[in-house]
Amino acid sequence: MTNIKLFVIALTILVLGFAGAVLWNSSRVEQQAGNLPRADRTLLERMHSPSLGPREAKVVVTEFIDPACETCAAFYPLVKGLMARHPDQIRLIVRFLPLHSGSDQVAVMLEATRRQNKLWQVLELVLANQKEWAINHHADPAIVFPMLVHLGLDQAKLKEDMNSNSVADVIMQDMADARRLGVEKTPGYFVNGRPLEPFGYKPLEALIESELKANYP
């Protein structure tokens, strides 16, 4: 059995764990946000977590993203816009939480492209063209691959990395951390460890602005 098949089996088990935990977690999300306003940083960023923006930035936005999530695609350029307004003060960390059917393979592909320093280019391309490959909440990775041809990726290496244990481990770790943090849907945001509650662009903007004022008086 190939590594990718083992990954799919493990991912299925983990997704079922998410479903089983939803009822229990949903009843405590607001209480958790109030009692633990800043989440454990070790769960928000791992050594493998890709980030965009200066390492010394004092405002860190962690996003749990599903590449097939419509709201994720809509919010990504909005977050980039907020970063552009404060280019030296905000850093974005992306964690993968593939919940839609088929999106696990797209997440694996994205993580594999990071091995060729192409993650951010591919992520923006995938999100911008999401309607072409994610239809009726089902992702079709076969449609995504032809979109990457002009990016200069080594296709053989990409396929090899997609089937590697190291890439699968990253996705599994991200999902496990999301579950421990109580993230049940995407996009899931934390700003300097503070969970976004309630969800929305204006609340996210306000949360980021409050952290900017606190850290850059």
Task: Name the strand (E) or helix (H) holding 52.
Answer: strand 51-52
Amino acid, single-letter form, for residue 188 = G
The CATH number corresponding to 3-215 among 3.40.30.10, 3.40.50.300, 3.20.20.10, 3.10.20.70 equals 3.40.30.10
Q: Which of 192, 73, 175, 182 shows the shortest CA–CA distance to 123?
A: 73
Asked whether 153 and 116 are in contact (CB, 8 A), the reply is yes
Q: What distance in Å separates the CA atoms of residue 195 and residue 14, rounded to the nearest whole number?
A: 22
Prediction pTM value: 0.83
Beta strands 188-191 and 194-195 are antiparallel
Q: Which of 103, 85, 111, 101 shows the shortest CA–CA distance to 209?
A: 85
pLDDT of amino acid 34: 38
Sorted by sequence, the CB contacts under 8 Å of residue 205 that are 6+ apart come out as 82
pLDDT of amino acid 1: 58
Amino acid, single-letter form, for residue 37 = P
Task: Kindly list the averaged pLDDT for each block of 10 residues, start to end, along the chain of length 217.
Answer: 58 55 41 57 95 97 98 97 96 98 97 97 97 94 94 95 97 98 97 96 97 96
Phi, psi of 98 (to 5 degrees): -75, 110
| Buried b / exposed e along 176-199 (16+ C-beta atoms within 10 A) | ebbbebbbbebbbbbbbbbbbeee
